[in-house]
Amino acid sequence: MQTGGPAERKGFVVWLEGLPGSGKTTLSQTLGERLRSAGWKVEILDGDAVRQMFSPELGFTRKDREFHARRVSYVARMLARNGVATIVAMVTPYETSRQAARADVEIAFEEVWLRCPIEVCRARDPKGLYRRADGGEIHRMTGVDDPFEEPLNPDLIVDTANVTPAKSASRILEHLANRGYIQRVLATA
């Protein structure tokens, strides 16, 4: 249980995974705000922005996606070990990548699956990716012509089709409190 100021706090990685449109970016921001307001140093490694900076040369083959995830987990570990509450928001469609991330981060790693039926993600289509994939404009789109492997070993599952972002964030904070990474008062705020 963390009771001290930021300097004494041990960092952790919350790895949010799920289909495009499942709410990773939305939830990472809600979660980040809640942690920041409690005095945590927070960094969010969000799929798209991070990909442009870390892996502009990589595409969306299995090998490229796995390689990109390794880069992200490497940085996540560095942040976490320096006391940062690190939130990763990445589709992470392959089980091999999740297992590699868990092994790479090593310390305080919580895998959270944002479970949301593809029909709901499609209806949301916040970036128009499903529409473009259906139209043949983009290829290897997860959920369309590339698989999203069902997570085998998530630490927590959040139903983002039916649960509001605020409630999902509370659920994750409660989980982090159960694991002793944050104070319980934050989970019930």
Smallest separation (angstroms) from Mg ion to the CB of 34: 18
* Cβ distance to ligand ATP smaller for residue 2 or 158: 158
Q: Count of CB atoms within 10 A of residue 99's CB?
A: 13
Provide the residue count of the chain.
Answer: 189
* Cβ distance to Mg ion smaller for residue 25 or 142: 25
The amino acid occupying position 31 is: L
* Cβ distance to ligand ATP smaller for residue 146 or 184: 146
Q: Establish if 11 lies at the interface with ligand ATP (CB under 6 A).
A: no
Q: Establish if 32 lies at the interface with ligand ATP (CB under 6 A).
A: no
Smallest separation (angstroms) from ligand ATP to the CB of 124: 4
Smallest separation (angstroms) from ligand ATP to the CB of 83: 26
Q: Establish if 144 lies at the interface with ligand ATP (CB under 6 A).
A: no
Site string for ligand ATP, 75-94 (x = CB under 6 A): --------------x-x---
Q: Which two tokens stand for residue 115?
A: 């479970």
Site string for Mg ion, 7-46 (x = CB under 5 A): -----------------xx---------------------
Beta strands at 42-46 and 109-115: parallel, antiparallel or unpaired: unpaired
Q: How far apart are CA 101 and CA 81, in angstroms?
A: 15
Q: Which residue of 11, 17, 25, 104 would you call a contact of ligand ATP, by CB under 6 A? A: 25
- For residue 101, the surrounding DSSP H or E stretch is helix 95-105
Using CA atoms in the order 170, 174, 179, 182, what is the torsion angle rounded to 10 degrees? 70
Q: How far apart are CA 29 and CA 169, in angstroms?
A: 9
Q: Which two tokens stand for residue 125?
A: 């289509």
Q: How far apart are CA 45 and CA 73, in angstroms?
A: 10
Binding site for ligand ATP (CB under 6 A): 18, 20-27, 47-48, 89, 91, 124, 126-127, 129, 160, 163-165, 168
